[in-house]
Amino acid sequence: MMKNDKNTARWAGFFYLLNVIFSVLYMEYIPSQIMVSGDAEGTLTKLLSNETLFRIGILVGIAGHLSFILLPLTLYKLLNQVNKRIAILMVALALISVPVSFSFILDQINFLDLLKDYDLGLITRDNLATSARSLYRSLMNGFFLNQVYWGLWLFPFGLLAFKSGFLPRFLGISLMLGCITYMVDIGGAILIKDYYDHVSTDLLIIPAAIGEIGMCLWLLIFGTKQNIRF
d(CA 169, CA 79): 14
CA distances from 204 to 27, 103, 177, 210 (A): 18, 27, 10, 11
2 pLDDT band, cuts 50/70/90, is low
Boundaries of every domain in the chain: 2-221
User: Which pLDDT does position 38 carry in this prediction?
Assistant: 85
228 pLDDT band, cuts 50/70/90, is confident
Q: Give residue-wise pLDDT tens across range 130-183.
A: 999 999 999 999 999 999 999 999 999 999 999 999 999 999 999 999 999 999
CA distances from 124 to 104, 130, 131, 151, 152 (A): 24, 10, 11, 40, 43
d(CA 191, CA 200): 16
Mean pLDDT of the 61-82 span: 97
* Mean pLDDT rounded to a whole number for the chain: 93
Mean pLDDT of the 57-81 span: 97
pLDDT at 202 over 90: no
Number of Cα atoms under 13 Å in the Cβ half of residue 229 = 0
pTM (2 decimals)? Answer: 0.92
Q: Which residues lie below 8 Å from residue 53, measured CB to CB, with a gap of 6+?
A: 30, 33, 34
d(CA 1, CA 100): 36
d(CA 134, CA 17): 31
200 pLDDT band, cuts 50/70/90, is confident
For the purposes of burial, counting CB atoms within 10 Å of the CB of 228, is it exposed (0-12), middle (13-18) or buried (19 or more)? middle
Nearest to 20, CA basis, from 64, 66, 56, 73: 64
Q: Which residues lie below 8 Å from residue 34, measured CB to CB, with a gap of 6+?
A: 43, 46, 47, 50, 53, 54, 136
User: Which pLDDT does position 7 carry in this prediction?
Assistant: 93
